[in-house]
Amino acid sequence: MSNSHPDMLALITTLKMAGLTTVILMLIGTPLAWYLAKMQSRAKVFIEALVALPLVLPPTVLGFYLLLLFSPQYLPGQIWQQATGQQLAFSFSAIVIGSVLYSLPFVVQPLQKAFEQLGDDLLEAAAMLGASAIDRFFTIVLPITKASFITAASLGFAHTVGEFGVVLMIGGNIPGETRVLSIALFDHVEAFDYAQAHIISISLVICSLILLSLIYLLNRPKKSQPVLSKRFS
Amino acid sequence: MADLRIKINVDYDDFSLSIDQQISLTGITGIFGHSGSGKSTLLKVIAGLDKDAQGQLLINDTILFDSQAKTFLAPQQRNIGLVFQNSRLFPHLTVEENLRYGQKRKKNNVTNKPLDFSEIVALTQLESLLVKSVAQLSGGEQQRVALARALLAEPRLLLLDEPLSALDDQNKILMLTLLEKVQKQLNLPMLYVSHSLAEIQQLANSLLVLSSGKVSHYGDIHQVIHQLTTDNEILHQTSLSLTVKEHLPAYGLTSLVLAEQQILMALNDHLEIAKQARCIIAASDISVTLHEPRESSIVNHLQGIITGFNRCNAQILLTVNCSGQDFFVTITAWSANRLSLVLEQSIYIQFKANAVRILR
């Protein structure tokens, strides 16, 4: 495939979209997961359900509502257009925002579980030794839950690469802007170009398999590594 | 001398804590109470880990929190150390890294010279463990690391929340000796929470007793234990700190000083001459005579005055003051009648050398 090949361009768009989405997801997902892990009010289940919604909803449903919101007829779309001078629907920004919402549970859930498991004991101990909240996050939380952070980022990335419905609804099929691999694949199948479809498909299967294997390898319990022992409590 | 002023209210659905008490921060203050008495909650409030308390908390003039003025000093700003029941060592760090964690974050302490890392490590006997991962440590070792880690942060007050409860007897003794040494060497005030009075008796010089969320007693340890004894809250006993005078190996005895009188106990040559020894004498091990028993095999007889006379069932609990020290004596009502004992009467108490039990 040459550089100018449309599928190559789709690959670059896909990686750009998934990369940016993952960065945003980690920035939003970490505090959200922390908040949910520490939250005790009854609203917690509702927020958890809201975050988990993309797991069960057809992506096209999410895409449909986002399409409406992003269009200039609605307030979010209007604000965006006034601020940037460009229409939000059918843009690269639109598919990134859509991906963030769509992949949110894949980042929030492993992090929330890790934070819940970590508990308050070590954080209280660190505070009593003079560590501030930010200090505690970087010296206690991050090193101990490192594997969960890598899992969350990898799942968020992989799931974004694999998305189709949302992008189709709100991105359309603009080369270099919103035409990602899953859309390109769909085009090839529509055009009966099975050879190209195979190349994309098998590459996605192999890459996803490698990525998931790495995640499972990382999360395999190691005997030598000290686990959070609760031997006294 | 530092003071801790506590004026707090904590209200939960099933539990409330209401304390208005000034505590003098010298030596080790024991905080005793049964489970549910609120002692751990009190410690959490002082540490800043419980944010729901109402009221005021001050160390000298420093406000730790004041709910009316809406000031709340975060735990990391209070410069108070806490050794938990479960050591709470950081599993991703080695022993040395755990120790350095607090040291790196210590508040600038102008008045004291900084603690030497290797000095604390030597004091807590951790030299050989520094490179180990915390998962490799035994329970006793973990608690020693937790103590050293707290000390190296150079707190102005150290809180200990049932620090021995997870340890076996041998490690308990080791840790108690260590705590006493640390307290003396660093002159660091400590609040020691425990549900075991025996543990506190070995260590503390003052005692605060909590009962259903309120302070029931506070003061010098021996006095409070005497009050608890009179109130029938604990087994009747006399609690004493006496100076060791000399060892008499030929007789198998050690001599202790009580004002101008002497008390003999079974030889214990581990005790250092001229140092204080903590001991208890069970009230049932002491008997009373009207005249000095010169021809008795019982080695200890002290003159005293009856200052308390309490009847419980068929038993009489006497308080006898000998040279300024109160002794508790239980005798049968029958004996009390036969000797016609009354308040303010001058009598002799006697007990065997073996009745004097050294706490540590």
**DSSP count for chain B of H helices, then E strands:** 8, 21
Q: Which of residues 66-125 of B touch A (CB under 8 A)?
A: 74-76, 79-82, 84-92, 101-102, 105-107
Nearest to A130 among B92, B135, B153 (CB): B153
Residues 148-207 of A with CB under 8 A from B: none
**Listed residue (B203, B218, B213, B119) closest to B163, CA to CA:** B203
Q: What is the residue extent of each domain of chain A?
A: 4-220
- CA-CA distances (angstroms) from residue A179 to A78, A84, A95, A155, B171? 24, 22, 10, 21, 68
What whole-number distance in Å separates Cα of residue A130 and Cα of residue B153? 8
Structural domain harbouring B303: 237-241+275-353
Q: Tell me the per-residue pLDDT of B283-308, one tens digit each, with 9 for 90 and over.
A: 889 999 999 888 888 999 999 999 98
pLDDT over 90 at A224, yes or no: no
Interatomic CA distance for residues B308 and B347, integer angstroms: 13
Token pair in block for residue A45: 């289940």
pLDDT value of position B1: 64
pLDDT at A22 over 70: yes
In a domain, B317, yes or no: yes
Residues of B in Cβ contact (< 8 Å) with A233? 85-86
Using an 8 Å Cβ cutoff, are B33 and B53 in contact?
A: no
Chain A touched by B46 (CB under 8 Å): no
Q: What is the pLDDT of residues A148-187, one digit of tens each?
A: 999 999 999 999 998 888 988 898 888 888 889 988 999 8
| Same structural domain, B14 and B113 | yes
The predicted-structure confidence for B31-64, as pLDDT tens digits, reads as follows 998 888 889 899 999 999 998 899 999 998 889 9
State the Cα torsion B306-B308-B309-B311 to the nearest 10°.
-150
Higher-pLDDT residue of B337 and B313 is B337
Nearest chain B CA: its distance from A231 CA (Å): 8
Residues of A with CB below 8 A from B81's CB?
128-129
Residue B161 domain flag: yes
Residue of A nearest to B146 (CA): A125
Q: pLDDT, tens digit, for every residue of A93-137?
A: 999 999 999 999 999 999 999 999 999 999 999 999 999 999 999
Nearest to B90 among A130, A140, A227 (CB): A140
Cα–Cα distance for residue pair B66/B214, rounded to 1 Å: 20
Choosing from B202, B230, B258, the residue where a domain stops is B230
**Alpha carbon separation from B166 to A126, B129, B272 (Å, rounded):** 21, 20, 30
Distance CA(A103)–CA(A156), nearest Å, equals: 6
Please tell me the pTM assigned to this model: 0.80
Query: Of B334, B342, B349, whose CA–CA distance to B291 is shortest?
Result: B349
State the smallest CA–CA distance between residue A126 and chain B in angstroms: 8
- The Cα–Cα gap between B83 and B148 comes to 9
- Would you say residue A226 has pLDDT above 50? no
Name the pLDDT band for A227 (thresholds 50, 70, 90).
very low
- Is B160 within the bounds of a domain? yes
Number of domains in chain B: 2
**Whether residues B120 and B222 fall in one domain:** yes
What integer pLDDT is reported at residue A229 of this predicted model?
43
Q: Given A127, A229, A233, which is nearest B135 (Cβ)? A: A229
B67 & B208 share domain: yes
Q: Is any Cβ of chain B less than 8 angstroms from the Cβ of A130?
A: yes
Q: Is residue B269 part of a domain?
A: no
Is residue B176 in a domain?
yes
Share of chain A above pLDDT 90, in %: 60
Question: Stretch B8-34: mean pLDDT, rounded?
Answer: 91
Mean pLDDT of chain A: 88
State the count of interchain CB pairs (< 8 A) between A and B: 80
Of B197, B230, B263, the position where a domain reaches its end is: B230
Nearest CA distance, A149 vs chain B (angstrom):
16
Rounded to the nearest angstrom, the minimum Cα separation between A110 and chain B is: 20
- Same domain flag for B174 and B307: no
Instruction: Report residue B88 as tokens.
Output: 């709470």
Written as six digits, the tokens of A145 are 């839950």
Asked whether the predicted pLDDT for residue B112 surpasses 80, the reply is no
Architecture in CATH of A4-220: Orthogonal Bundle (1.10)
